[in-house]
A and B are shown apart, each in its own frame.
Chain A
Amino acid sequence: MAEIVLDKVTKRYPDGALAVSEVDIEIADGEFIILVGPSGCGKSTTLNMIAGLEDITSGELRIGGKRMNEQAPKDRDIAMVFQSYALYPHMTVRENMAFPLRLAKVDNATVEKKVTEAAKILDLTQHLDRKPSNLSGGQRQRVAMGRAIVRNPKAFLMDEPLSNLDAKLRVQMRTSVSRLQKQLGTTTIYVTHDQTEAMTLGDRVVVMRGGVVQQVGAPQALYDHPANLFVAGFIGSPSMNFVPGTIENDTLRTVLGDVPLTGRIAGLLAKANAPREVIMGVRPEHFEDAHLLDEPTRDRGVVFEGQVDVLESMGADKYAYFSLHGEQAASEELAELAADAGSAEVTASGIELVTRLSAASSVAEGATAKIWFDNDKVQVFDPSDGRNLTYAGR
């Protein structure tokens, strides 16, 4: 158990490519921290540098207060779970889990005891004498976890450990990973590209893009107060709606109508020195069917009219999709997010809007609906550098 400190850790490959740029993270003892970002954002490289599988170009890595840059992986006393599980195919489950202990020259009785214990925690007792090839994906994943926990390392590193599981099992394993981490109280660094995993698992989430840390914070804080367009678009599912707009006095003119800026937002914008042309972001759940609201509430926000493109009823609520005429919000961050989601090619012209309405809503597919949104919940971004102009700082 130990705290892990990354102090301006940078990775530059011999060909000059910058994979990770000056990452500063302080991870407290026992904390569960998530590195999240699209593929190629440097999260796995960061993890490998903590593991010692890749050299640190500059900066310092400290585990338990000691500089670790030059230590070999085996001397860092940390365990790692790989996406491919990396189980030794020629060893049984028991031998796989015992391997780190055998290498550490632990006596047989202790090895037996620890392996049995770990197997019990992970529900692997009846599979101990089988080879990995005879196990299901979920069982293999648990063996990989078992191999990590048997030797009580200072920290666990997990590199997309659930990505190779099918959707249902992934949700199940997510809960057990979380429970296991709480039970053991070991510092854990978890890499994923899945924002749902990031939101549900971590004490804190580190969002990375192009080797640079975008924001570090508790999942809810990232969701409510994204520091920039990238974090706003990456965190949350369905993701935030982005609409271009123009600030005129205390009004934000957009295709959704003129949004009067509340005092709080106007103050923040003034402080942030906002440009005239901006991007407005609204989360899907901040929309509502106007018919379901009483007069005072409706008057507090903005109401617009649109034709419902697609309606998805999820039971607890309804997702109504709109396509509005007008220019799409354009910025580097949004383009990258679209490319990562694979939606860059399929996006139709015009603005796509996703709204989450109450189940009681009577909107119908193809019909025109009156939709309301809360103008105090909007976020305003600077299209040139992506920063959140309404970010209060958290």
Chain B
Amino acid sequence: MSEASQLSAENVAGASATARGVRGGSAGSTGSARRAKPVLSEGKKAERRLGLLLCAPAALVMIAVTGWPIIYSVWLSLQRFDLRFPDQREFVGLDNYITVLSSPYWWTAFGVTALLTVVSVVLELVLGMALALIMHRTIVGRGLVRTVALIPYGIVTVVAAFSWYYAWTPGTGYLANLVGPDTALLTERLPALAIIVSAEVWKTTPFMALLLMAGLALVPDDLLKAAAMDGASAWQRFTRVMVPVMKPAILVALLFRTLDAFRIFDNIFVLTSGAQDTASVSMQTYNNLIKGLNLGVGSTMSVLIFITVAIIAFVFVKVFGTAAPGSDQGGRR
């Protein structure tokens, strides 16, 4: 029980830590500009002290609920710690990392996760953009259209995963019967992965659409009219004006979804339980940590997930220049 909460806390920690990383990235540039300014006046100093004091309670809570679990799992990952043999607990340095990184199971799971992430995020981007355009353009029944579009996102993932599971259950599921009465797609590797992707896409496309719709609102109508006057077709208006202008929003949406998708767990847990090599890294971590009771190796895996997610965030922020929509001073106004 306590390990289970430990694991979910870990997941949360990973997400919020990277979210902070994103904000830190954009704040960094303004920070350096501030440093170049002359010495602060007495009033400014007092103001800043007050600011820090006001932030302190929130910062302390953050450290308690995110900082501590991260440090603790790093600490656990450096030990041999199997609850079946609690007496053999000892500090082993990076041995657990060598074990995990040289394991084919880990790399298979890593490959599956990467594949699921890329495929589902790409599909979500395409469908999310279409959905966002529809929601943006709707004039009649706007509220209804938006509500309906967002329903999948409002359903708990596990519940949605079960409904997919039943739909694909041979004999009773309507989708399984549609394909053929004698098939069991969830027991074959590639079809199972495809079903996992479709469940993911179905569930999170509305979220993507929501983020992209915020980006669409950044594209002034006049700009599209101007492009139409300049001779652009609808497709050219989309690719050459709309997409570049809303690029910051697209990058943020991609970042959020990639980070989320990489930690995929519930859908796989319900649909295949990781059978036929469909386990993701989170699934493997769960198997080792909760099922195998191996706190050392399990923690190692969760730290590796954390590092991967941090790298993804870093690449998005530093390489693609992802920033909060609207904070890009260069191209806007």
A contact set with B: CB distance below 8 Å = 51-53, 72-74, 78-80, 82-84, 86, 88-90, 99-100, 103-104, 131-133, 147, 151, 157
Contacts and interface: CB of A to CB of B under 8 A. Distances in A.
A73 B237 CA distance: 13
B333 A104 contact: no
B330 A79 contact: no
6 contacts: A74-B228, A84-B222, A86-B220, A88-B226, A103-B230, A133-B329
B231 A103 contact: yes
Interface string B88-131: 00000000000000000000000000000000000000000000
B329 to A, nearest CB: 7
A82 B232 contact: no
Given A131-B330, A133-B329, A133-B330, A103 B232 contact: yes
B20 interface: no
Contact of A88 (B223, B231, B330): B223
Given A82-B226, A99-B240, A100-B231, 10 more contacts: A53-B225, A80-B226, A86-B222, A86-B225, A88-B244, A90-B245, A103-B232, A131-B330, A147-B230, A151-B231
A80 B222 CA distance: 11
A104 B236 CA distance: 12
Given A74-B229, A82-B225, A103-B236, A88 B241 contact: yes
A90 B331 contact: yes
Contacts of B230: 74, 79, 99-100, 103, 147
Interface string B133-171: 000000000000000000000000000000000000000
Contacts of B227: 88, 99
Contacts of A80: 225-226, 229
Contacts of B222: 82-84, 86
A133 B328 CA distance: 11
B332 interface: yes
Interface in B203-256: 220, 222-223, 225-233, 236, 240-241, 244-245, 247
**Which has the most chain B C-beta neighbours within 10 Å: A51, A74, A84?**
A74
A133 B331 CA distance: 6
A74 B245 contact: no
Contacts of B331: 89-90, 131, 133
A78 B231 CA distance: 9
The 6 closest A-B pairs by CB, nearest first: A86-B226, A86-B222, A100-B230, A90-B244, A74-B231, A103-B231
B138 to A, nearest CB: 15
A104 B247 CA distance: 25
Interface of B: 220, 222-223, 225-233, 236, 240-241, 244-245, 247, 329-333
Contacts of B232: 74, 103
A334 B3 CA distance: 80
Contact of A73 (B220, B229, B240, B333): B229
A51 B247 CA distance: 29
Nearest to B331: A89
B229 A90 contact: no
Contacts of B245: 88-90
Contacts of B329: 133
Nearest to B228: A73
Contacts of B241: 88
Contacts of B225: 51, 53, 73, 80, 82, 86
B237 to A, nearest CB: 10
A86 B223 contact: yes
Contacts of A133: 329-333
A39 to B, nearest CB: 17
Given A89-B332, A133-B331, A133-B332, A51 B229 contact: yes
Contacts of A51: 225, 229
Contact of A78 (B229, B244, B247): B229
A43 to B, nearest CB: 16
A73 B224 CA distance: 12
Nearest to A14: B139
A74 B247 contact: no
Contacts of A88: 223, 226-227, 241, 244-245
A86 B230 CA distance: 11
**Which has the most chain B C-beta neighbours within 10 Å: A82, A86, A104?**
A86
A88 B242 CA distance: 10
**Which has the most chain B C-beta neighbours within 10 Å: A73, A131, A147?**
A73
B228 A53 contact: yes
A131 B245 CA distance: 13
**Which has the most chain A C-beta neighbours within 10 Å: B223, B230, B232?**
B230
B233 to A, nearest CB: 7
Nearest to A73: B228
Nearest to A89: B331
Contacts of B229: 51, 53, 73-74, 78-80, 157
A88 B241 CA distance: 7
A51 B224 CA distance: 13
A72 B233 CA distance: 9
B29 to A, nearest CB: 17
A83 B221 CA distance: 12
A208 B11 CA distance: 64
B333 A89 contact: yes
Contacts of A78: 229
A72 to B, nearest CB: 7
Contacts of A53: 225, 228-229
A79 B225 CA distance: 11
A24 B222 CA distance: 27
B283 to A, nearest CB: 41
A132 B332 CA distance: 8
Contacts of A90: 244-245, 247, 331
**Which has the most chain A C-beta neighbours within 10 Å: B228, B233, B245?**
B228
Given A90-B247, A133-B333, A84 B220 contact: yes
A258 B18 CA distance: 85
